[in-house]
Chain A
Amino acid sequence: MAEPLAPIHPLALSAQERGPDPAAVVLTAGPPLVLLDLRCRDRAALDGFLKKPAGLASPPVARAVSGARGTLFRFGPDWWQLRCADRKLADRLLQADAGGPVGATDVSDAWLAIGVSGPRARDVLAKAATVDLHPDTFPAGSAARTLFGRVTVVIARLEDGEPAAFDVTVSRSNARFLWHWLADAAREYGFTLKPAASDGA
């Protein structure tokens, strides 16, 4: 056997439009991620580890910062996740962690991102999210790891803008369930699905 393997995205469903206002909620399957879990007891050490290769410094807990080379999420005092703009950065960091104060682990294929946007995006998420997504308490740069119904997700608002657009990170195994769940929850308002390209790349 010599045919090389091709990655396959679980949200490669055909596009569909439903409900009274198809623009009310737009669900977008994000592209495959290049993702590192970063664990470190010392924020300064983490900042030092990332500064040169990633050009990012740690945000507070439950926040995220974006730069040209990636987006850095902070889940807890000793736990970060870095969405890398490319594979090169991830490989460089994975090699750099050996024996140092930072533990870097490649979790790229474990997670997928679903974009939830449109004027009713917040309402759809509020059907299961218990965190307060109001712009006063969840401004751009917020990124809460939380329980969505019975699925652990990260709900983030990475960019400014009105109406707010949300980025939901979900484990690969739960992604299709959550996709269907969100579409069903959006039916009340109307929604558009933008699935992944079928080759997943």
Chain B
Amino acid sequence: MSGPQFRLSAGGRIDRAAALGFSFNGESFTGYAGDTLASALLAYGAFPLARSFKYHRPRGIYAAGAEEPNALVQLESGARSQPNLRATQIELYSGLNASSVNAWPSVDFDLMRVNDWLSPLFPSGFYYKTFMGAGIGTGRWWKLFEPFIRRAAGFGRAPAGPDPDRYERMNAHCDVLVVGGGPAGLSAALAAANRGSRVILADEQAEPGGDLLAGDRGIDGAPAMDWTATAMETLGAAPDVTVLTRTTVAGLYDDNFATALESVGERFGPDAPAHLPRLRLWRIRARQIVLATGAHERPYAFANNDTPGVMLGNAVRHYAGRYAVVPGRQVLLGTNNDSAYRTALLLAQAGIAVTLADARESPPAALAEAVRSAGIVLETGCAITAVAGDRRIRGAKIAPVRADGEIAGSPRPVDADLVGVSGGWNPALHLASHRGARPVWNEAPACFVPDDLSALGVRVAGAVTGAGALAECLEQGYAAGRDAARAAGRTKRIRKPVLKTDDGAAGAPIRPLWAVAGRRPGDRRGKAFVDLQNDVTAKDVALAARENYRSVEHLKRYTTLGMGTDQGKTANVTGLALMGMETGRSPDAVGTTTFRPPYTPIPFGALAGRDRGALFDPVRETPMFDWHAANGAVFEDVGQWKRPYAYRRAGESLEQAIDREVSAVRNAVGIMDASTLGKIDLKGPDVVTLLNRVYTNDWETLKVGRARYGLMCHEDGMIFDDGVTARLADDHYVMTTTTGNAATVLNWLELWLQTEWPDLRVFATSVTEAWATATVAGPEARKLVSDLDGDIDWSDEAFPHMAIRNGAILGAPARIFRVSFSGEASYEINVPAHYGLALWQALIGGGATPYGTEAMHVLRAEKGFIIVGQETDGTVTPQDVGMGWAVSKRKDFIGKRSYSRPDTARPDRKHLVGLLPLDSGTVLPEGGQIVNDPSQEPPVTMLGHVTSSYRSPSLNGGFALALLKNGRNRTGDTVHVLKLDEGADAARVVDPVFYDRDGGRLRG
């Protein structure tokens, strides 16, 4: 690559003192601070830097902003690598390293170019016809072709390894959000800020100015960028104005919620300061929104209009004016409207030879005079019909065209190595569309404009309305900013600024022009592209029309028009207009597709923000957590809680640890951290009424100082929680819930208390975290707790099973439940949470063995105690699990009526049973399906499933709980449990209580 020969010797908003070296496709380049990757590359010429999606034709930089369809690059490598970034939006930094995304094996020699030469075989709809069509074994063909197609289409590579960068999210609130920092947006922000509004101005560029950044506009007799600088100073001095540069508003949502992506550390590359996030995702709640999002220039299509060196006309202007780059010596500009005249004049001033082909017969006299006197060749009534060349432009042709775009005379050659095409302007109405705006076709500028959204607090200003003149943009911006501020309640009166612009005399209307030739089946002049990113040609649109895919949705899916990462920013309207021409309709009659967020792609990292690694999800720790962590605990997540699953000692397997813990509880004493159990404090004279209504059993007989187990069901009669509730005083109870349901149960009580039974005088308060709970269980439990200094009488007579006591233990206030989930004598000792760790250490010091949740599961399953969510799944009644004894016949309660529904009353529902594998060495798979006959031909009759299954050191073998159809009537039968891979285990149906059936031990 020779030097940056296309950089103009002066001008532009680049810092020529700050040269930046970078690498592209392995070659070294130099640009300047203020460049984008695209402008720095264009300084070396308009060479190919990508291959097209389908035909793998060489492609160059086409635009100067977010609408770029071609120049997608892979930025950096390794874990930091990002695919499919637009070179036009990457700020240059020193050491930047980028490569092409869609070229195999390289941009210069692309094997897939064969697709282009074979293109008659790949017409629009090829994929649908080949792979979706009837008659061809779809699945088989797809399998054969998929890897090939995916590789051929491959847009970029995923990063290798975890992302090393940091990403932030920020919530913000404002009176007025202004999207776009061009003249309309700045004007709106000033009007709102001067009225005292809280304003956020978001602009996607490194500096505000929008179209003014080209540097060729004037306001009040001075360069327009002087006005921009003054505006920025004013906004910077206002106390409640936030100007976010490098920030793209990506989506607008209900109630004027906006998401915006700010590039923070990214512009420094891999050497960015470590404390800076790479990107920040803003979540903005705006009372009012002003959309000053501007417009994207659209091309008209002609033969080989994808050749590198063909660009949007206004992109040529911006590269020349803002970056001092003109990647050609002889420029041909094709236009159908006034805007290209500024481009022509700017280029001529820079000494470039320019031919301007205006499709209109009579351009405005003042403009014609201005360009002619600047030495520009003006061809009127002519459009570009074709360019010659492959990897770069070697000439072009122009000819008169008819109203439908067909060539009306013989084409004439024009010397050119750079072509700018200007077919009019498409307002960037994406964000308005997110809020539900309907695009309305506006004949005068020949474009879709958003309809009125002011009722939603959304206003539009500037080029997004179809406005062309700078004065009009400033005026609309001012009005929108003022009205938005007023709507947000900022009614301060401010004098309206009067600004004089360089707009000149009134212009002439656009002559709509969509494609010059290239549409007819027999046209051999070359492909005329409409959608450059997805390789959709004018001919493809015509084919879709002939095959009757005429609605916009069919057009889109049949041709893939607008389905690329650019969402067809330069393509959609042209495609619609061409379809309209084919079918004799106006563009709006064809219909428009709905734009959906995001406006430009958002990396996953920015969406994830801080929700990754250790901070992925909130962690809940009990007061004893640090002891567990320091003593070999293997944790399991129960909701957000970290609970010890088992405590592994050195040299012990997990299974051995669990066995040891179970044996300790059965033979000596164990302690478990039960702090996670939900605890709800219930106060008031009507608590017992509430308990009677939400639990299936009776509560009137519960005495102060005693506790009772209860089952809670939904109205469908299915179990949703269980737990022990104790009566602390006449009208003071404490309810315990399962760990996972603590919040759900409190919400459930509040739902009924607030909405259905507001007459009940009950106060419910969560005290789950106020207490730390240590369960002391085992035949030596009483001895251990009796050794603790305190005022509790632990004797069985004074403190029997299912009683509770308040007192002091080692100087701390304590509340003790004598309840058992293990089948052994067991005390749940509650102390204020800050004392929890100290209590735990005291109990360990007393000789207790800590046990985890898995040992607890084995112990309770041996007793046939259910776990809600394990034995139950929302389809299980109390009767199903053998707890009909806990269901009152006397009173009404939530769910009762459902037990007489025919399905719930069936005698052969699935029942909770025990299963003993015939081979005691087997542990049945949890979740395993139960069948009578494992050799039955499918469909196999399923009878239920294993809900819990463990190895028991006490039973010396495997055992399980299961839900089995008609199970209570099948005791003694042999059933088979299917294994996950193959085969089945035989098991005998037994009673679900395996251990200490008469319960003597827990009273011991």
Contact = CB atoms under 8 A, between A and B. Distances in A.
Nearest to A152: B743
B680 to A, nearest CB: 10
B472 interface: no
Interface stretch (B326-334, B363-371, B835-843): B835-843
Interface stretch (A47-55, A63-71, A171-179): A171-179
B475 to A, nearest CB: 30
Interface in B762-782: 763, 765-772
A1 B729 CA distance: 30
B623 A172 contact: yes
B836 to A, nearest CB: 8
A109 B766 CA distance: 12
A73 B881 CA distance: 45
A106 B834 contact: no
A28 interface: no
Contact of A172 (B170, B641, B833, B845): B833
A128 B833 CA distance: 27
A5 B641 contact: no
A110 B617 contact: no
Contact of B845 (A1, A150, A188): A1
A9 B834 contact: yes
Interface string B649-678: 000000000000000000000000000000
B275 A180 contact: no
Contacts of B788: 1
Given A19-B275, A111-B769, A5 B812 contact: yes
Contacts of B836: 8
A112 to B, nearest CB: 10
B118 interface: no
A75 B789 CA distance: 40
Nearest to B839: A5
Contacts of A20: 273, 275
Contact of B610 (A9, A137, A181): A181
Contacts of A189: 275
A99 B832 contact: no
A177 B618 contact: yes
A127 B812 contact: no
Contact of A103 (B611, B640, B641, B765): B765
A80 to B, nearest CB: 11
A96 B170 CA distance: 45
Contacts of A44: none
A156 B832 CA distance: 25
Contact of A109 (B170, B273, B685, B833): B833
A109 B771 contact: yes
A58 interface: no
Given A2-B810, A107-B765, A181-B610, A10 B621 contact: yes
B769 A105 contact: no
B835 A5 contact: yes
A176 to B, nearest CB: 6
B614 interface: yes
Interface string B600-618: 0000000000110011011
A105 B762 CA distance: 13
A163 interface: no
A177 B617 CA distance: 9
A123 interface: yes
Interface string B872-884: 0000000000000
A129 B171 contact: yes
A130 B681 CA distance: 30
Contact of B770 (A3, A39, A107, A200): A107
Contact of B615 (A10, A106, A110, A184): A184
Given A8-B623, A108-B832, A127-B170, A150 B618 contact: yes
B18 interface: no
A8 B610 contact: no
Contacts of B837: 8
B525 interface: no
Interface residues of B, number: 62
A45 interface: no
A184 B610 contact: yes
Given A37-B765, A103-B763, A127-B170, A177 B838 contact: no
B832 A127 contact: no
Interface in B656-715: 681, 683-685
B831 interface: yes
Contacts of B246: none
Chain A CB count within 10 A is highest, among B240, B276, B683, B772, for: B683
B198 A134 contact: yes
A188 B620 contact: no
B503 interface: no
Given A109-B770, A150-B618, A7 B170 contact: no
A161 interface: no
Contact of A110 (B611, B620, B763, B770): B770
A42 B15 CA distance: 69
B918 interface: no
Contacts of A137: 173
A171 B763 CA distance: 20
Contacts of A150: 617-618
Interface in B159-205: 166, 168-173, 198
Contacts of A174: 618-620, 640
A14 B809 CA distance: 30
A107 B766 CA distance: 8
B928 interface: no
B834 A7 contact: yes
Nearest to A2: B789
B171 A7 contact: no
Contacts of B681: 105
Given A5-B812, A8-B834, A188 B275 contact: yes
Contacts of B810: 1-5
B846 interface: yes
Given A106-B770, A150-B618, A180-B615, A39 B763 contact: yes
A59 interface: no
Contacts of A6: 835, 838
B811 interface: yes
Given A1-B845, A8-B623, A173-B769, A110 B833 contact: yes
Contacts of A8: 623, 834-838
A97 B763 CA distance: 12
Chain B CB count within 10 A is highest, among A111, A128, A177, A184, for: A177
Contacts of A180: 614-615
Contacts of B617: 150
B834 A99 contact: no
B833 A149 contact: no
Chain A CB count within 10 A is highest, among B812, B831, B834, B836, for: B834
A43 to B, nearest CB: 15
A109 B834 contact: yes
A70 to B, nearest CB: 18
A1 B623 contact: no
A182 B849 CA distance: 37
Interface of A: 1-10, 19-20, 32, 37, 39, 97-99, 103, 105-111, 123, 126-130, 132, 134, 136-137, 149-151, 171-174, 176-178, 180-181, 184-185, 187-190, 200
Interface of B: 166, 168-173, 198, 240, 273, 275-277, 283, 285, 610-611, 614-615, 617-623, 640-641, 681, 683-685, 729, 731, 763, 765-772, 787-789, 809-812, 831-839, 842, 845-846
Given A9-B834, A107-B770, A173-B769, 8 more contacts: A1-B788, A5-B810, A5-B838, A7-B834, A107-B766, A109-B772, A127-B610, A174-B640
5 A-B pairs with the lowest CB-CB distances in the bound complex, closest first: A103-B763, A7-B834, A109-B833, A4-B811, A173-B620
25 contacts: A2-B789, A3-B842, A5-B809, A5-B812, A5-B842, A7-B834, A8-B623, A19-B275, A20-B273, A39-B683, A103-B684, A105-B765, A106-B767, A109-B769, A109-B832, A110-B766, A111-B769, A126-B170, A127-B171, A127-B610, A149-B610, A173-B622, A177-B618, A181-B610, A187-B166
